[in-house]
Structures are given as C-alpha cells and as structure tokens.
Amino acid sequence: MRTASLPDGTNVPALGQGTWNMGESDALRDEEIDALRFGVDQGMTLIDTAEMYADGGAERVVGEAIRGRRHEVFLVSKAYPQNASRARIAKACEASLDRLGTDRLDLYLLHWRGSVPLAETVEAMERLVQAGKILRWGVSNLDIDDMEELVAVGGGACATDQILYNLSRRGPEFELLPWLSRRGIPVMAYSPVEQGRLLNHPALENMARRRGVTPVQVALAWLLRTPGMIAIPKAAKRAHVREICCAPELTLDEADMIELEKSFPRPTKPGPLEML
C-alpha cells in the first residue's frame, strides 16, 4: 500500500476507509463491519470517522470492526466545532473513545470551524495530547485563511487538513494545496468520488473501459498521483473494498491526464473551499 507522511514522520496508508453514512441502519451493520475488517486485511488500515456520523453510530461500527485489531489501525475521528473548546473537548473525546472501544485516537480533527476561537481549540487539542488521549491533531474543512490563522495562534503541530477534493472539486489546487504542500501538511480528501456521482461521467467511463478498470479506480488513481495525498472513500460492502484497494496500482499516463483535464479543468482563480 502506498503511504503518505505526516509532519511528525509517521507513515500512513494513502488509501484509507471513510465511514460517512455508516451506522445508520441495523440491517446494514454486519455488512459494514465486514467491509471495514476486509479493508484492513487489504492494507487500508487508516479508518476515518466522526462523532457526527449517525450520532456516534459510525464510531460504534468502527469500534466493533477493529475489536481485537486496534494495533493494526490508524484511527481518526472528528469533533463537532461546538465541542472543540477547553470546557467540552475532553468529554467529547472520551465519548468517542468509549464508542470506539479504545483508549486513544491516532488523530483527532476539528470537523469544521465554528464559533470557538482557533487558539482555544489548539490549546484544547494539545491538552488531549499531553493526557495521552490523542497522539496528534488536525483540522477539516479549513481554507487557506483559516490555516494561516491556525498557524499564527500556535497551531504549527496540525497534522492534516481534511477537505472535499476530487476531480469535480478542484478549487483547492489554486491556493490551499500549494500552501499545505510547502508546509509538509498532507491532505485527506473526503468524498473522493463525490459520493458516487462522479462514476457515471462519460470521461471516467470511457477511460475505465479503455484501461480495463473501473471509474472509481480512475478517480482514486487521479487523486493518489499527488504525493502527500490521502484518499478516504467509503466502501460499505466487501465487493466495493476489493474494487477500491486496487486503485493505487493504476498509473495514469500523460494522455490520460490530458483527457481528464479537458473534462475536469483546473481552477483559474481562487474560490471558497467547498463542503458537503
């Protein structure tokens, strides 16, 4: 499995597993757990979740999936913005740890920016590191202005910025991705296939057919071509995991990139960071 390096030198899989929309149905629970376990078997050992997902339901699914295998997994969760304060973050983190059945998170993220000052969130995150509840922290959905402020208030230890980035959402390429790259902060790309909406695009379908692969593999290979990029697609079925885990093996050539550029042009001016 290809890897990406965090600022502290830790290597993590460049292809992980997302869990948005998991844990919402008891009927699907066993299948979701099986898919996550199978993903770990295939080397997709980074698992991303959040207290928001299914009101903690996704964390419970992940906790069951990694039971007895916690040592194999790089575990990521996210806190609501209103919980990222001195007064509330410890309780929110403990609740996530309880649902996940573990005593620590490898990475804890601010899910998006709210009313809590970033300086307070940085302080609260660092307290969790000192307490051993989390090993490192980062952010999600923060644009370049937010990131500059974060660094200015003492957030130099930020391990990642998790953002919406895929072939149809290339806005971060104009300013944010170069800014993060210069500082050695890797990107975690959520919704890398736009929650499945990209997969019926003619350009992806035609390229996949010609290369003997699938549209999802093309979309992920496009993302993973960038050093320091971590993609976290959701795969709630074993068959989907099997398809996704092959994506790092696909190398897009210059002709492929030119073809994709025509259908998904890069940004020519700055714009606000998009969110789902």
What positions carry a catalytic annotation?
Answer: 53
* Nearby residues of 28 by Cβ (< 8 Å), 6 or more positions away: 22, 236
Choose among 272, 178, 232, 188: nearest CA to 39.
232
- CA–CA separation, 66 and 9 (whole Å): 24
CA pair distance 79, 50, nearest whole angstrom: 7
Strands 3-5 and 11-13: antiparallel
Structure tokens at 222: 């496009």
In whole angstroms, give the CA distance from residue 23 to residue 12: 25
Query: Integer distance in angstroms from the first to the last C-alpha of the chain?
Result: 28
